[in-house]
Structure 1
Amino acid sequence: MVHLAVAARYGWHRDEFYYVITGRHPAWGYVDQPPLTPVLARLAAALPGGVVPLRVLAIAAAAGCVLLAAKLAAELGARRRAQLISAAAVTACPAYVAASALFGTTGTDQLRWLAVMVATARALRLGTIPAWLLAGLFAGLGLENKDTIAALVIGIALGLVITRRAALRTPGPWLAAALALLIASPNIRWNAADGWPDGRAAR
């Protein structure tokens, strides 16, 4: 609520301009990021209110992180008190507070990291194919938002190899991986066709 109250007090940040402009030139990738955040920026900028709709998206992403932190604690067996402590810790964390002040890939990336972690914990608990597919869906969307989530996906894969090999003998994790790659494939193909550009090219 505090962030929302001051959302319009400070003008556009150059990165927010950049996301809106790139979103107005649709592509499956850009030299420094996949396409999802620019698409969201373009849609938000088309609404009345100037920069406020983008800031509302940033605040919503941060609020989603708070809720997902509590949900992750619950999936790991935490009771209500521990869930509240988890949510409060994220609420007070400077990294999340700062990310919700401006719209960009950081806040949306944080939201997707937590979504993948919650969905994976749920899939490990339930062991069902739909639960694993949900984890794959979130991972794929995360890869279309920011490449850094690949580190989380690799970490989860290593964790399964080390501690949950039985899960790898079921189709769920493999179907989740296939779905994530399918969703991310347009950006992967774009990068391959354009010589695997990166942020250095933009500078």
Structure 2
Amino acid sequence: MNRPPATATQTPDATTRQRVHPFAVRPVVAVAVLVGVVLTALSGRYGYHRDELYFMVAGQHLSWGYIDQPPLTPLIARISTTIFGDTVMGLRVLSTLSCVATIIVVALLAREFGSARRGQVLAAICAAVSGFVLGVGHMVSTATYDLLAWMLIALFAVKLLRTRDGRWWLALGLTAGIALENKYLVVLPVAALLVALLIVGPRSVLRSWWLLAGVAVAGLVALPNVVWQFQHGWPQLTVAGGISEDDGTENRIMFIPLQILQLSPFLVPIWVAGFLRLWRKLQWARSIALAYPVLCVAVLLAGGKSYYALPLLLVLVAAGAEPTLRWVDKHRIQAVIAVALTALTSAVFTLPVLPASAADLVIPVNKEQGEQIGWPAFTESVAIAWGQIPPAERSTATIFTGNYGEAGALRRYGPSHGLPTAYSGHMSFADWERPPDTNTGPVLLVEIQRTPVFEANFRDCKQVGTVDAIVSNDEDGTALVLCDAPAEPWSVLWPKLRQFY
């Protein structure tokens, strides 16, 4: 649809704000579905990620909240495995569909910024080949559904600014409320947008009863988890504080490099062009551009992880698709090569395309690859150590792990090796179950690193085995330590064994 020429009373900026081109449904959906097919084909190639093992156990203990997260992702894990099968592929079906939807929403954002068919398709392609989108789409994680929520919030915010229709606050509030049931990080982009609106406007969209209605909707949807956190002493604040304390300095140092690497270095010119376009030409959307640096400052101050700000880069990519087309028209061959290289590097570093034995090549850049490899072998090592306990003593013996990934793996694979229920004091595992006080026999500790202070809770500990992982992941070198008995009854010992991070 051709845009009418600007008049004295209708500037190009105003025209863009009032009208959009038709949505390029077929090519955009084709790009998104192609990614879905690739993700499905590769979804079972390695195995479960440690977080997925945790989510599956959490899904069997449905609640309005958990120590380290709201309830949505465990619920989705439960639904996906129930409908599509209790397998790696079955678990990841809804994650794949979320990725497909994210790509479509990025194209819709490009449309809101004035892109016609070709610009929308380019935006979809850029999202489809970006490392971050492929990485979170491949696995089940809170970031997977968080990304889709952020894209929808951005879409509704852009529609609000373009049309000045305050009713979009309701859609934004509803999406934010649902996102808060998945991860609290969603408050960051919303807060960044509000700060940007106060700085560069248009402030008129803030003077609306629809804004208050949107806030009310968000609060109402998020209320069950907020109540749960209140009733349990706000444990997620403790978890967040521990993560910031442990990793804050490293996160700040690596923030800018990872912003470039995790999305893709090849997409940098596009999101830079998008920022400049929003700031200089689409002045009604200036606050969208400013929201990104505001968000980056907030994440840096909090010591948060670099990916916390990545979704807003995809919004800038959507804005940059239209001006990038002019370069593509002049450099078609270079553009095809750039897309191919982006897709190749993103796939190698985020998807299980390499043999598991070669994953060490990419783990230094993306450690999540290694966290999907070796859990059955890990369980076999634990089973060998368990076999050193005399059969007569096993009925009162206990397996205690240092983290939720280990506990989740042993819950998943342990029964086939004759292992009993594995316990852990890590995150919500501490709330679900603890060993009975009648377990007065040997304790097999699974420790990534031997810790004398921790082992002091048990009697006469000695290392009886080591986990030799296939790749250099967190479990490589894990110590298997056999102790004679707990130093105190488990009911007394349990509060001392709780770990929040």
TM-score normalised to structure 1 length:
0.92
Distance 1:133 1:21, change over 3 A: same
Q: Does 1:172 align with 2:210?
A: yes
Q: What's the offset of the Cα at 1:81?
A: 2.0
Which protein has the bigger strand share?
2
Number of the residue aligned with 2:177: 140
Number of the residue aligned with 1:160: 197
Q: Could you tell me how far apart the structure 1 residues matched to 2:180 and 2:196 are?
A: 19
The one-letter amino acid paired with 1:167 is: V
Q: Does 1:23 align with 2:321?
A: no
Q: What's the offset of the Cα at 1:41?
A: 0.6
For 1:70-81, list aligned pairs within 5 A.
Answer: 70-81=107-118
Q: Does 1:92 align with 2:92?
A: no
Deviation per CA, 1:48-101: give whole Å up to 9, x if none: 251212211121111111100011111122222222221111111101111122
The one-letter amino acid paired with 1:82 is: G
Q: What's the offset of the Cα at 1:15?
A: 1.1
Q: Structure 2 stretches of 5 or more lacking a match?
A: 1-36, 243-498
Instruction: Report the 3-state secondary structure (helix = DSSP H, G, I; strand = E; otherwise coil) of the residue aligned with 1:202.
Output: coil
Which protein has the bigger helix share?
1
The one-letter amino acid paired with 1:122 is: K
Q: Could you tell me how far apart the structure 1 residues matched to 2:221 and 2:73 are?
A: 15
Q: Structure 1 stretches of 5 or more lacking a match?
A: none
Alignment counterpart, residue 78 of structure 2, candidates 42, 49, 62: 42
Q: Could you tell me how far apart the structure 1 residues matched to 2:215 and 2:50 are?
A: 35
Alignment counterpart, residue 13 of structure 1, candidates 12, 27, 49: 49
TM-score normalised to structure 2 length:
0.39
Contact 2:52 2:140 in 1 (8 A): yes
Deviation per CA, 1:137-187: give whole Å up to 9, x if none: 111111111111110111122123221211111212221111111111111
112-121 or 20-29, larger mean C-alpha shift: 20-29
Instruction: Report the 3-state secondary structure (helix = DSSP H, G, I; strand = E; otherwise coil) of the residue aligned with 1:77.
Output: coil
Q: What's the offset of the Cα at 1:10?
A: 2.1
Q: Does 1:187 align with 2:225?
A: yes
Deviation per CA, 1:94-134: give whole Å up to 9, x if none: 01111122111111111110011111212233333542211
Q: Could you tell me how far apart the structure 2 residues matched to 1:28 and 1:171 are?
A: 30
The one-letter amino acid paired with 1:34 is: P
The one-letter amino acid paired with 1:7 is: S
Give the number of equivalent residue pairs.
203
Instruction: Report the 3-state secondary structure (helix = DSSP H, G, I; strand = E; otherwise coil) of the residue aligned with 2:44.
Output: coil
Alignment counterpart, residue 149 of structure 1, candidates 186, 203, 216: 186
